[in-house]
Amino acid sequence: MKIAVVGTGYVGLVTGTCFAEKGNEVICIDIDQQKVEKLREGKITIYEPGLTDLFLRNLKEGRLKFTNSLREGVKDAEIIFLALPTPPGENGSADLKYILGVADDLGKIIDNYVVVVDKSTVPVGTADKVKNAIAQHTKVEFDVVSNPEFLREGVAVDDFMKPNRIVIGAESERAKKIMNDLYATFSRAGTPVIYMDIRSAELTKYAANSFLATKITFMNEIAQLCERMGADVDMVRLGIGADERIGKKFLFPGIGIGGSCFPKDIFALVMSANEFDYDFQILNAVMRVNQMQRLHLVTKIKHYFKGNLDGKHFALWGLAFKPNTDDIREAPSLYMIDELLKHGATIRAFDPEAMGNAKKYFGNKISFAENQYDALENADALIIATEWNEFRSPDFQKIESRLKRKIIFDGRNLFENSTMQDQGFHYESIGRAVVE
Ligand SMILES: NC(=O)c1ccc[n+]([C@@H]2O[C@H](COP(=O)([O-])OP(=O)(O)OC[C@H]3O[C@@H](n4cnc5c(N)ncnc54)[C@H](O)[C@@H]3O)[C@@H](O)[C@H]2O)c1
């Protein structure tokens, strides 16, 4: 099938590449000229495991193309995906200016029946707005469909190619048939394709993200209790996770939920609920707890250094909001770094993939290391903010020889307390006893 994808970021590039891999002819469109030029030259613009090979193969075989021109990109397309940003607006509601701006332009361009698909995460009622924006400029027939994306950065290719489910909100039979054809290879492989009305599809995405964020936040509160009550959150996690009704996943406490989706989607759902005269109390609490949790490790650091961080120097491992991505949007590390700097500390950070983005964000406010051990030189303590695999089994001798003091503050519970005891470190983690 001929597919256009508008917006070539984390979702758009993965969507476009994976549909090309499935044999479709795909054109990805982006407003960012530099990005399009790089992609045309075969240079990938995000770090996502497994994506580069697929991207290069499909580019070479001519199934995957890139353009800045919306008109050129959507010409002949049977399906146009919108994978555009929906960042929080001034009051936290999803800002629809990118989606509605493109919808407006599409109305002036389309000259044949086409299915316009919202892949972005959008509030209930957006499909109607998209429909109106297009319809005010054209008499051409078209349909708007909601097909929310559930991929996770870091495993996006796998998630896209082998999803748990595909959700499609469609109202016309014609659009349903086209979406059915598009996803035929997925349903043949056993993936459930769940058809529903458009509003339910739009809400499904927010409900899924909010539920998952709530689950993690609940465990963060249990971790807070563990620290106060002398219990061990890892034991509690195993104990409750063994109950199938609860499940083992998303029970890991840490330094708060981050990333480009959870925080903004919870906020957007709370604001949408308000518009419909409903106070979503649980999600308001989730947001409050999260604000506190992302500074929880810094609170421990301040406490250890008796409230005086002025002139202290820290090594920081991990900037990305989670491992296997270069994405730092809403990463807890950003909040922690800002707070440490505010109190007069200096920081040398290392992240396997996210330092490029972090340099753009921090400039020279912090320094960046060549590797994880280089970051440690002369630091008063090591702080761990992202659970990259390469941080899990470090050479503790090397850590010891470079740090000024044998202290680790671990926001991701990478090490066993018994190991840290044996290694002789002062070790503070989340929801577990302090190793002195
Ligand atoms: N990142 C994720 O893990 C993820 C997962 C599921 C859903 N989503 C949702 O998908 C949507 C996109 O997220 P993302 O992370 O891919 O965003 P992103 O910021 O990585 O990518 C958006 C792209 O759109 C481009 N763009 C902006 N305006 C444009 C325009 N007028 N025409 C063409 N291109 C334009 C930007 O240059 C950018 O490349 C959001 O609604 C997000 O909530 C994201």
Mean pLDDT of the 324-347 span? 97
Tell me if 151 CB under 6 Å of ligand 1.
yes
Instruction: Confirm or reject: Cβ of 202 under 6 Å from ligand 1.
Output: no
15 lines ligand 1 (CB under 6 A): no
Atom of ligand 1 nearest to the CA of 119: 10
Q: Between β-strands 64-67 and 346-350, what pairing exists: parallel, antiparallel or unpaired?
A: unpaired
Distance 82 CA to ligand 1 centre (A): 9
- Three-state SS sequence of the chain: CEEEEECCCHHHHHHHHHHHHCCCEEEEECCCHHHHHHHHCCCCCCCCCCHHHHHHHHHHCCCEEEECCHHHHHCCCCEEEECCCCCECCCCCECCHHHHHHHHHHHHHCCCCEEEEECCCCCCCHHHHHHHHHHCCCCCCEEEEECCCCCCCCCHHHHHHCCCCEEEECCCHHHHHHHHHHCHHHHHCCCCEEEECHHHHHHHHHHHHHHHHHHHHHHHHHHHHHHHHCCCHHHHHHHHHCCCCCCCCCCCCCCCCCCCCHHHHHHHHHHHHHHCCCCCHHHHHHHHHHHHHCCHHHHHHHHHCCCCCCCCEEEEECCCCCCCCCCCCCCHHHHHHHHHHHCCCEEEEECCCCHHHHHHHHCCCCEECCCCCHHHCCCCEEEECCCCHHHCCCCHHHHHHHCCCCEEEECCCCCCHHHHHHHCCEEECCCCCCEC
Cβ–ligand 1 distance for 175 under 6 Å, the answer no
- Ligand 1: atom nearest CA of 120 is 41
Ligand 1 geometric centre to CA of 32 (Å): 12
Place of tokens 């529903």: 196
> What pLDDT was estimated at residue 221?
98
Region 123-127: mean pLDDT is 97
Q: For 152, what's the count of Cα atoms within 13 Å in the CB-facing half-sphere?
A: 16
Task: Report the distance separating Cα 93 and Cα 153, nearest Å.
Answer: 23
Give the whole-angstrom CA distance, residue 276 versus residue 401.
59
- C-alpha of residue 6 to centroid of ligand 1, in Å: 9
The residue whose C-alpha atom lies closest to atom 21 belonging to ligand 1 is 9
* Helix orientation angle between 332-342 and 296-304, rounded to the nearest 10 degrees: 30
* Closest-lying ligand 1 atom to the alpha carbon of residue 101: 31
Q: Mark residue 379 as left, alpha or beta (left: phi above 0; alpha: psi -120 to 50; beta: remaining).
A: beta
The yes-or-no verdict on residue 175 having pLDDT over 90 is yes
Kindly report, residue by residue over 298-335, the tens digit of the pLDDT: 999 999 999 999 999 999 999 999 999 999 999 999 99
| Statement: residue 90 has pLDDT above 90 | no
Instruction: Over range 107-124, report the average pLDDT.
Output: 97
Q: Which residues contact 147 (CB under 8 A, 6 or more apart)?
A: 81, 117, 118, 119, 166, 167, 168, 169, 179, 201
Q: Is 230 left (phi over 0), alpha (psi -120 to 50) or beta?
A: left
> Which residue of the set 18, 28, 226, 261 is catalytic?
261
> In b/e form, how buried is each residue of 179-215, taking b as 16+ CB within 10 angstroms?
beebbeebeeeebebeeeebbebbbbbbebbbebbbb
- CB of 105 sitting under 6 A from ligand 1: no
Closest ligand 1 atom to residue 13 Cα is 16
Ligand 1 atom index nearest CA of 122:
41
- The tens digit of pLDDT for each residue in 352-408 reads 999 999 999 999 999 999 999 999 999 999 999 999 999 999 999 999 999 999 999
In this prediction, residue 313 carries a pLDDT of 98
Average pLDDT on 120-137 reads 98
Separation of 368 CA from ligand 1 center, angstroms?
28
221 pocket-lining for ligand 1 (C-beta < 6 Å): no
Residue 392 phi, psi dihedral angles, 5° rounding: -75, -30
**What residues contact 375, with CB distance under 8 A and at least 6 apart?**
315, 316, 317, 348, 349, 350, 369, 382
| CA 219 – CA 215 distance, rounded (Å) | 7
Q: Is the CB of 160 under 6 A from ligand 1?
A: no
What is the distance in A from the centroid of ligand 1 to the CA of 329? 12
Rounded average pLDDT over 248-263: 96
Q: What is the pLDDT of residue 31?
A: 98
CA of 435 to the centre of ligand 1 (A): 43
Q: Give nearest CA residue, ligand 1 atom 41.
A: 120
CA atoms within 13 A on the CB side of 394: 24
**28 part of the active site:** no
Most ligand 1 atoms within 8 A of CB, residue of 158, 260, 267 to mutate: 260
Atom of ligand 1 nearest to the CA of 45: 39
**Is residue 81 within 8 Å of residue 28, measured between CB atoms?**
no
What is the pLDDT, as a whole number, of residue 391?
98
